[in-house]
Amino acid sequence: MPEIHLSQLVKRYGKTEVLHGIELSMAENEFTVLVGPSGCGKSTTLRMIAGLESVSDGEIYFDGKPVSHLEPKDRDLAMVFQDYALYPHMNVARNMSFALRLEKRPKDEIDRKVREVAATLGLSDYLERKPGELSGGQRQRVAMGRALTRDASTFLFDEPLSNLDAKLRGQMRAELALMSQRVQKNMIYVTHDQIEAMTLADRIVVMHGGYIQQEGTPEELFKRPINRFVAGFLGTPPMNFLGANIEQRGDEAFVAGDGFALRLEGAQADAAKKHSAREVTVGVRPSDIDYAPDAPSDRALTLQPLVSEYIGAQSVLLCENKAGNVTVEVKSETPVALGEPLTFAVNPERIHLFDRQSEAAL
């Protein structure tokens, strides 16, 4: 429920600084997803919000009140730990009801709540088992259940579904999406799974090396990444990057690289003209390239498909080109011959340009 604000949050372990001034506001009842490569500081951020790690510098505000001096129990939050952190000596039911029992809730209420949550998580048959007698995925669900029985105002999830099989993960994801609509809670969620991030988030925060790279709605981040890192991090298969230069030919702007010259359109062309002859990296998502033998050369790439990976309705083609390797996503039925140079059309509106040096979007 509270509006959470991280103000210039810094974390140091001894001399090494792992978070360098995180500035982030999370509105009331917002579902915020933190993503980023391993070791970028997601768990550390979450643990500082929870009060498990001390704040080296900066402050955390809940509804405008500084909380960094408060114990975790005074921050009214529930958390799912990356390593589950179950109580080894308690069975599943007691693990899930620990917080409620500490609050001295009536026994039948606790029982009801535990059974209800256990049922949604598919744990009803395991209530009497100790964590040591469960599989990894079952333990992870217990960790999830322990948070979901709580009535806290903020929920922190640290990769809560990472160990579940695809089907179960889909179910849990739907369950979480439902829950976040139904109850008015703040959710802060760390994940490596792009689908989870895209489907659950009101807002995604991309972190890298202890800095926030970009934050925004999933759509904003996907369509307008502000730098090469964000562009390459979100989206599967990842975006293709090709080295090129901006060239102005008469009234038109092109990005030209080894063996290709793509004409830019609209606002991007206007912007590009200001950076004539600039060295850039061209970014194109595999889904924005399509097999089109008749495409005009100013919006086409000549690629030589080497491998075709069949993934159902789509196939991913790994292709070679003078400027480097390019992946293309095409409909499975598209007739492509491997090993031959073929013409692929690029959607000109979906071309991303990044400065070669600073890697920032132009």
Partner 1 sequence: MNSANRLTPYLFMAPAIVIMGIALIYPLGYMMYGSLLDWNPSQSIEEAEFVGLKNYITLWGDPNFHESLAVTLIFAFVGVSIELVLGVGLALLLDRNLRGMTLLRTMFILPMMIAPVVVGLMWRYMFHPTVGTFNRTLEALGLPTVDWLGQNALLSVIIADVWQWTPFIFILSLAALQSLPRSALEAARIDGATAWQQIIHIKLPLMMPVLIVTGLLRLIDAFKVLEVILVLTEGGPGLSTEILALRISRTATEFRELGVAAAMSNYLLILLMLLTAAMFTLSRIQEIRANRVRAAAEEDS
Ligand X SMILES: Nc1ncnc2c1ncn2[C@@H]1O[C@H](COP(=O)(O)OP(=O)(O)OP(=O)(O)O)[C@@H](O)[C@H]1O
Q: Tell me which residues touch ligand X (CB under 6 A).
A: 13, 18, 36, 38-44, 82
Q: For Mg ion, which is the closer residue by CB, 81 or 254?
A: 81
Out of 43, 138, 214, 321, the residue judged to bind Mg ion by CB under 5 A:
43
Q: How far is the CB of 159 from Mg ion (least distance, A)?
A: 7
- What is the rounded CA–CA span in Å between residue 351 and residue 347? 7
Q: Count of residues binding Mg ion (CB under 5 A)?
A: 2
Closest listed residue to residue 269, CA positions, set 283, 284, 248: 248
Residue 77 touching partner 1 (CB under 8 A): yes
Q: Among the candidate windows 77-85, 179-187, 259-267, 348-356, which touches partner 1 by CB under 8 A?
A: 77-85
- 99 to 118, contacts with partner 1 by CB under 8 A? 99, 102-103
The entry of Mg ion, ligand X, partner 1, none near residue 39 (CB within 5 to 8 angstroms by kind) is ligand X
Please identify, using beta-carbon distances, which residue of 77 and 242 lies nearer to partner 1. Answer: 77
Q: Is 352 in the site for partner 1 (CB under 8 A)?
A: no
38 vs 181, beta carbon nearer ligand X: 38
- Sequence-separated contacts (24+) of 122-126 with Cβ below 8 Å: 122/168, 123/92, 126/92
Strand-pair partners of 260: 257
Contact partner at residue 38 from Mg ion, partner 1, ligand X, none, CB < 5 to 8 Å by partner kind = ligand X
Nearer residue to ligand X within complex by CB, 190 or 280? 190
Closer residue to ligand X in complex, CB, 54/217: 54
CB of 309 to ligand X, least distance (A): 26
Q: How far is the CB of 13 from ligand X (least distance, A)?
A: 3
91 binds partner 1 per the rule CB under 8 A: yes
Of the candidate residues 72, 259, 339, 341, the single one contacting partner 1 (CB under 8 A): 72
Stretch that binds Mg ion, among 35-43, 118-126, 211-219, 316-324 (CB under 5 A): 35-43
Distance set, CA 158 to CA 32, 41, 253 (Å): 12, 12, 45
Strand pairing class (252-257; 260-263): antiparallel
Is 189 a binding residue for partner 1 by CB under 8 A? The answer is no
CB of 7 to partner 1, least distance (A): 23
Distances (CA, A) of 59 to 12, 21, 76, 153, 306: 14, 10, 18, 20, 52
127 in contact with partner 1 (CB under 8 A): yes
In the bound state with ligand X, the residue whose beta carbon lies nearer, of 111 and 193, is 193
Least distance between Mg ion and beta carbon 58 (Å): 20
Among 30, 59, 98, 308, contact with partner 1 (rule: CB under 8 A): 98
Rounded CA gap, 164 and 135, in Å?
10
Binding residues for partner 1, per CB under 8 A? 50-52, 71-73, 77-79, 81, 83-89, 91, 98-99, 102-103, 124-125, 127-129, 146, 150
